[in-house]
Structure 1
Amino acid sequence: MARVTVEDCLIELPNRFSLVHLATKRALQLKKEAEPLVESENKEVVTALREIADRRIRFDHTVEDVVAGDVRKERRSRRRRTR
């Protein structure tokens, strides 16, 4: 794949929120030196999008579950900062 686009990824993930969430998580893993699942000389975000478009990784959660989890993490983080 010479060029990956959001539309390529939305075939696999019809929800843009899910796409952004998954690409962000995967890009952070790659930045922490996780092994890429596709050959790429691009930055981590583009590599993550390539992996999604190539069906190498998937999003197995509902958007509601992810949002609820993120809200819980943010609340815990705020509580720690106010102590």
Structure 2
Amino acid sequence: MARVTVEDCLKDVDNRFQLVVMAAKRARQIEAGAQPLVDPERDKPTVIALREIAEGKVTQAVLDEIHVHQPVRSRISDFEIRDELNEFRPEDEGVAKPRAAASED
């Protein structure tokens, strides 16, 4: 396993705070199924993310691009979504029901 240091990562990142945000975002992407841009070598997603940043393979622009094109995996099943939608009624949304025409006496 290659050892990665903060100094390695800060070559291409402005400050430590931005590094933390970038590494966390990339680690979440990897955890969600995004392909690592370096050999994973049995490392955890956070270490893989830091290695990618240190090697210059991940920048903020790359993170934004990956985020846009990465499919979203829902933790809610299709069944749960359908069940919720079936509970919806138009009157719940404030749709006024047509009233009977008032008779003029």
TM range (shorter): 0.5 to 0.7
Q: What are the Cα deviations for residues 3-61 of structure 1, in whole angstroms up to 9, with x where unaligned?
A: 1111100111131111000000000000001100000220000000000001111024x
CA distance in 2, matches of 1:43, 1:2: 13
Counterpart in 1 of 2:50? 49
The more displaced of 27-36 and 5-14 is 5-14
| Paired AA for residue 7 in structure 1 | E
Counterpart in 1 of 2:20? 20
**Number of aligned positions between the proteins:** 60
Q: Considering fraction of residues, name the structure with more helix.
A: 1
Name the larger-Rg structure: 2
* Aligned CA-pair RMSD: 1.3
Counterpart in 2 of 1:76? none
Counterpart in 2 of 1:71? none
Counterpart in 1 of 2:5? 5
TM-score relative to the length of structure 2: 0.54
% identical equivalent positions: 53
TM-score relative to the length of structure 1: 0.67
Secondary structure, counterpart of 1:48 in structure 2: helix
Q: Is there any run of 5+ residues in structure 1 with no aligned partner, and where?
A: 61-83
Counterpart in 2 of 1:34? 34
Q: Is there any run of 5+ residues in structure 2 with no aligned partner, and where?
A: 62-105
4+ residue runs over 2 A deviation: none
Identify the structure with bigger relative contact order (alpha carbons < 8 Å, sequence gap 6+): 1
